[in-house]
Structure 1
Amino acid sequence: MLLLLCLAPLISLAAPPATHSFTLDNGLKVLVREDHRAPLVTSQLWFRVGSADESPGQSGISHALEHMLYKGSSKTCAGEAAAILQTLGARENAFTHKDATAYYQTLAPRYLGVAFELMADLMSTAYLRSEDLIAEMAVIREERRWRTDDDAHHLAFERLTAVAHLANSYQTPILGWTHDLHRLNADALRHWYESRYAPGNATLVVVGAVTLDQVKPLVQRYFGHLATRSVTPPVQPMELAQPGERKLTLHLPIHTPLIMMAFNVPGLTTAENRRSVHALRLIDMLLGGAHSARLQKRLQYAEPLFSEISTSYDHLTRGDSLLLLTSELASTHTDPLDAAQTRIWQLIEELHAQPPTVEELERARTQLIARQIYARDSIVEQAHQLATLESIGLPWQMLDQDADELAQVTPADIQQAAATFLTRERLTVAQVFKEAGHE
């Protein structure tokens, strides 16, 4: 712990890595961060489109497009782009989430141009044929089945978030609702591609053993010729200020009862005061973000009612967010769900009534800052953090300012944030019972 406490001032004093930014004439934003500790580079191409942008009836279209981009283009056959990169020793993949869709490759710097050429081609000349879509949608429906429908915890979380996001589009699941996955067609997919995969709706982030002089000519060569196109603006999901308490009861094939509590809170882009978001991040750490956190120390490790408890909060969202508490309960306890919720509320109300001690806050702050810094040992994680900020409309420089802003949060800020945002008027509760007959 002494080592951790010494980290915070050192982090604030450390000079950030050399980072460069430029924009092509067609609107593509490019970030280059130098990190010469290993002879590798990661290239990440992020598009500002995700499940939050999908209208009713189109859920899952962003994720489906991510799959279909590898089914052939003007330069590659189906699967060839990934095969070429793997032949070069690259680690490559793609993902879709609520705010963005991203494609990334980590490889030797001498092959960076190959990655650029393939990505520029896929974002501009993908075929998106109907016959390919029919087969791929069967794969996606199976992915949804094993990731969500057959996983009780994930299914409960999907149902909870659909209710918790009462008035905004974060209620749409990334994989899509099953009925929508049966009716998605190639025409809708092509329109999504043409209106969302324009250079002006993308950010290319390059981190690793490269310099701006090496990267900029390659970017211009492979991406500079892509046509400028109009862009459909991303949606900013906003929640009601006082949506009211919502309750959800589920019966699923779980081994022990489960309770999930989600509070509607702002993200970094929607908060009136950024300090309140940093206070919420520290509340996440204070309540459940470490072994020494209050929920673990006073409930999970001390009371037989609780077998596991955790919290989470994603502050890097394009719109409003959720602070989530999840508790897995001991099956031997009588009527455990109401009792568990009562005990959790008692700890939350303690934060309403009294701020944490300086010592407790410093411990949580140091743990959070240390976690952020250790993540930067990975060039992939550095690129992910930079791209996330840009994809939600915030400047990348905020990454290097993060430790200083966290250091400004006081115990009084913690108390005020808890009293403002951790209230019943902002709460959605899912009580998950064991399905009858499930062992």
Structure 2
Amino acid sequence: MTTAMGAALRRIQLGNALSAFGNGFTVPYLFIYVSQVRDLGATTAGVVLATFAVAALLVLPFIGRTIDRRGPLPVAVAGTVSAAVGSMGLGLAGSEPTVIAAAAALGAGIAVIQPALATMIVWCSTTTTRSRSFAMQFFLNNLGLGIGGLLGGQIVDTADPSSFVRLFAIESAMFLVLGATVATVRLPKAPRVEDAILADGSAGSGWRTLLSDRAMVQLLVLGFVMFFACYGQFESGLAAYAVEVTRISPSTLGIALAANTAAIVLTQFIVLRLVERRRRSRVVALVGLIWTVAWIAAGISGLISASHAVAATLLISTFSLFGVGESMLSPTMAPLVADLAPARLVGQYNSAFALVKQLALAAGPAAGGMMAGAGLYAPYIVLLVLCSLGISVLALRLGGRLTPAQDNPLRAAEERRAEAAVAGAEASAIAAEADRRMPLGV
């Protein structure tokens, strides 16, 4: 990686970490803020949360083409402005229409930022450094969210609406910091994506290219199952199962969520060293097995609720195992999306993966919430165990469609260097032999 690429990447990562810190201030308290502090009721709070997903689903199908035609930098800056306006709007809004409108601006802005930043990281990294770059992004995101949530909890006071205004003002400022930081980045044109900004053709041609790429389609299916089975359950089915079946207290649930973040922060770079030289498809398959164990542990915790300490330990272990799996995915999935993408469609591929993530994050809580509401906890655990096993099966099938460079870029690069060294040595030997046989005086 060149010095310019490294400097650009550090700016992107710093801005991203600060925005995650600001986002951590508000996310855990949004429902309480809308329903109780602004006294708009639980229904409106639910609509506001749904608006985030709807806004993302509306913009993501179109944002990929814009990234590929205009470049990721202006798109990222526009997203930060929209998110900052939406965040500040939430802090100042006092009626249902204004709260929903602000949520739409914030949701759309965050949805735009994600694929734009991912594309910028691709531009500022190489095939062999991309896994480490995305692992760092994931680490800083979780660290920022965790610290932000912890500090935000010390500021908020449900009896003082102005404390929430301060929270949203801090979040808005952090988005503007991200925009200002991104705006100063000088994006190098790495060979992998050197013509991405020159993409031609319509959005339809981009989608046709993507949907005809069978490896990418399989990756999208895998991503949907993955986000549905893990991230989509944290705040719905799994939380309901923990409280209603395992019978843990809300404070213990908070410890379990903290254990998830701690597992990510503590293991990210240890895991990175272990997996970055392994085949990506097999790493993802291993994640499926780890999450299978996690869901089985959750199921057992509900069967032995009479032994509260053991049940609580099992449930905390469930969240910790999810964190370990997430730390294995961060250097694997996003770099794989980039390596599958044609140079002119990096933004399209990133936005398609973000769209699938949003769909899963909408479907996951809905399915988990409905099954929990109906008391179908045993079928719920069985469903998620099967989904986790499905991740392993889908990952192994995907591996059959990947080239060696896509599935294991570091090893492929080492093999290319070894082949080049052997070829160079052979050429030197041939030249030396020719010189030896050449008559004197010639």
Q: TM-score, normalised by structure 1?
A: 0.29
Would you tell me which structure has more helix in proportion to its own residues? 2
Would you tell me which structure has more strand in proportion to its own residues? 1
Q: TM-score, normalised by structure 2?
A: 0.28
